[in-house]
């Protein structure tokens, strides 16, 4: 692989991590902008700064701490990325997504991807949570897909299916857990569209994306979901709607990263409850979950 994130390199990182901790997580969580608090709820935590992990990229964005945390969520071993990588940071797309392959080699079965996103659906409000049911991969339309380049069959097939990218059972579990936790009024299910960033969208772009069927727009998650599915990981993803996309030329609203981080703080505890309750309710040994749903 021309970007150097081949099987051996991912294995070297995974083996290094496995030698540092006895925890064997089945679930990995990726924290979106301002959502790093999810990682702070891990018990008996052992944390590694990204700069200390062999071959790991570095976080450069405010609101992405740059720590990999191993610990337990409601008694279940998990690993959590406090800080993810984005295309606009200048990394090759294979590097952004290498952690998914490292997770696979650690023995992880399910990844939970979270992000901050702009709401395009007129029904969505700031602070709402959107379970991702599908995506639109805009950079992919332009030939920027993390699976470009030689395919290593040890990870997965050349042409992976994406119509089932966001696991139906996990979405059902999230709706169930969300209802039990009282998220009813602010939880949706919708389509996430990824752009390259870092500039926020213009009004014309937001209008176009809405017409194309997107409910929320962001700069991450999709690349990770593609690589995770390619190597057989189960994917659940959610967006926190941190701002409303500006659709109107009379609007005085301006998208900004401060608002994104601020909204993250407001929902931080509730999102941590949603994720930890989901993790508690997942069953992995038979490859299936939805066993002993929320609160049982
Ligand atoms: O990592 P995520 O997708 O949560 O980060 C979003 C997209 C940009 O990195 C940033 C914009 O505020 O937040």
How do the domains of the chain map onto residue ranges?
A: 7-281
User: Among 22-36, 156-170, 185-199, 275-289, which stretch is predicted with the lowest mean pLDDT?
Assistant: 275-289
Residue 3 banded pLDDT, cuts 50, 70, 90: low
Task: Give the pLDDT confidence score for residue 119 in this predicted structure.
Answer: 98
- Can you tell me the mean pLDDT for 163-185? 96
For ligand 1, residues with CB inside 6 Å are 32-33, 61, 84, 86, 115-116, 197, 218-220, 257, 260
Retrieve residue 200's tokens.
């926020």
Strand 110-119 to 216-218 pairing: antiparallel
Per-residue DSSP letter, 68: E
Residue among 30, 31, 33, 126 to mutate when testing ligand 1 (max atoms within 8 A of CB): 33
Task: Give the pLDDT confidence score for residue 64 in this predicted structure.
Answer: 79
Cα of 209 vs centre of ligand 1, distance in Å, is 17
Residue 63 banded pLDDT, cuts 50, 70, 90: confident
Which of these, 120, 122, 252, 258, lies nearest to 191 by C-alpha position?
120
Is the pLDDT reported for residue 286 higher than 90? no
Q: For ligand 1, what atom is nearest to the CA of residue 84?
A: 1
Strand 187-194 to 76-82 pairing: unpaired
Q: For ligand 1, what atom is nearest to the CA of residue 34?
A: 4
Measured CA to CA, the distance from residue 294 to residue 296 in angstroms comes to 6
Per annotation, catalytic residue among 243, 268, 276, 281:
243
Per annotation, catalytic residue among 130, 219, 282, 289:
219
Q: What are phi and psi of 188, to 5 degrees?
A: -130, 175
Query: 276: annotated binding-site residue?
Result: no
Task: Give the pLDDT confidence score for residue 292 in this predicted structure.
Answer: 30
User: Among 32-46, 54-68, 99-113, 277-291, which stretch is predicted with the lowest mean pLDDT?
Assistant: 277-291
Per annotation, catalytic residue among 89, 121, 192, 239:
89
Measured CA to CA, the distance from residue 177 to residue 164 in angstroms comes to 21
Is the pLDDT reported for residue 1 higher than 60? no
Q: What are phi and psi of 210, to 5 degrees?
A: -60, -45
Residues above pLDDT 90, as percent of the chain: 86
Provide CB contacts within 8 A for 19, sequence distance 6+: none
Is the pLDDT reported for residue 29 higher than 80? yes
187 has catalytic annotation? no
Query: Over the range 38-65, which residues count as b (16 or more CB within 10 Å of their CB) and which as e?
Result: bbbbbeebebbebeebeebbebebebbb
HSE-up of residue 41 (Cα within 13 Å, Cβ side): 21
Cα of 117 vs centre of ligand 1, distance in Å, is 7
Measured CA to CA, the distance from residue 228 to residue 222 in angstroms comes to 10
257 has catalytic annotation? yes
Cα of 119 vs centre of ligand 1, distance in Å, is 13
Q: For ligand 1, what atom is nearest to the CA of residue 240?
A: 4
- Can you tell me the mean pLDDT for 24-45? 93
Superfamily of domain 7-281: Nucleoside phosphorylase domain (3.40.50.1580)
Measured CA to CA, the distance from residue 54 to residue 17 in angstroms comes to 9
Higher pLDDT, 85 or 63: 85
User: Whose C-alpha lies nearest to ligand 1, atom 11?
Assistant: 257
Which residue in this structure is represented by tokens 């690993």? Answer: 79
Residues above pLDDT 70, as percent of the chain: 95
- Can you tell me the mean pLDDT for 198-220? 98
pTM here is 0.95
Task: Give the pLDDT confidence score for residue 288 in this predicted structure.
Answer: 42
Is the pLDDT reported for residue 241 higher than 80? yes
Q: Considering the chain, what is the average pLDDT of its residues? A: 93
Partner residues linked to 134 by β-bridges: 191
Q: pLDDT tens-digit profile of 219-228? A: 999 999 999 9
Query: 201: annotated binding-site residue?
Result: yes
Q: pLDDT tens-digit profile of 103-156? A: 999 999 999 999 999 999 999 999 999 999 999 999 999 999 999 999 999 999
Residue among 260, 261, 263 to mutate when testing ligand 1 (max atoms within 8 A of CB): 260
User: Whose C-alpha lies nearest to ligand 1, atom 5?
Assistant: 33
Query: 273: annotated binding-site residue?
Result: no
Query: 214: annotated binding-site residue?
Result: no
């Amino acid at each position: 692989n021309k970007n150097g994130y081949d099987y051996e390199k991912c294995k070297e990182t995974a083996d290094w991590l496995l030698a540092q901790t006895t925890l064997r997580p089945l679930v990995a969580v990726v924290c979106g902008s301002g959502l790093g608090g999810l990682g702070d709820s891990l018990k008996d935590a052992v944390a590694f700064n990204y700069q200390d992990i062999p071959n790991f990229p570095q976080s450069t964005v405010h609101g992405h701490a740059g720590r990999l945390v191993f610990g337990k969520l409601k008694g279940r071993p998990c690993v959590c990325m406090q800080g993810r990588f984005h295309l606009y940071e200048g990394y090759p797309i294979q590097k952004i997504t290498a952690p998914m392959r490292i997770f696979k080699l650690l023995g992880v079965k399910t990844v939970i991807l979270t992000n901050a996103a702009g709401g395009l659906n007129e029904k969505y409000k700031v602070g709402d949570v959107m379970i991702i049911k599908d995506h639109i991969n805009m950079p992919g339309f332009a030939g920027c897909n993390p699976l470009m380049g030689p395919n290593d069959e040890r990870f997965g097939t050349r042409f992976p299916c994406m119509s089932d990218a966001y696991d139906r059972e996990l979405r059902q579990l999230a709706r169930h857990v969300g209802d039990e936790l009282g998220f009813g009024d602010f939880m949706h299910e919708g389509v996430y569209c990824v752009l390259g960033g870092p500039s926020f969208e213009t009004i014309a772009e937001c209008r176009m994306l809405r017409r194309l069927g997107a409910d929320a727009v962001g700069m991450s998650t999709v690349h990770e979901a593609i690589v995770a599915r390619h190597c057989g990981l189960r994917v659940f993803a959610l967006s926190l709607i941190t701002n409303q996309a500006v659709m109107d030329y009379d609007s005085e609203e301006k998208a900004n990263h401060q608002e994104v981080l601020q909204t993250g703080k407001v929902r931080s505890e509730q999102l941590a409850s949603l994720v930890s309750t989901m993790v508690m309710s997942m069953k992995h040994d038979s490859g299936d979950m939805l066993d002993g749903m929320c609160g049982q």
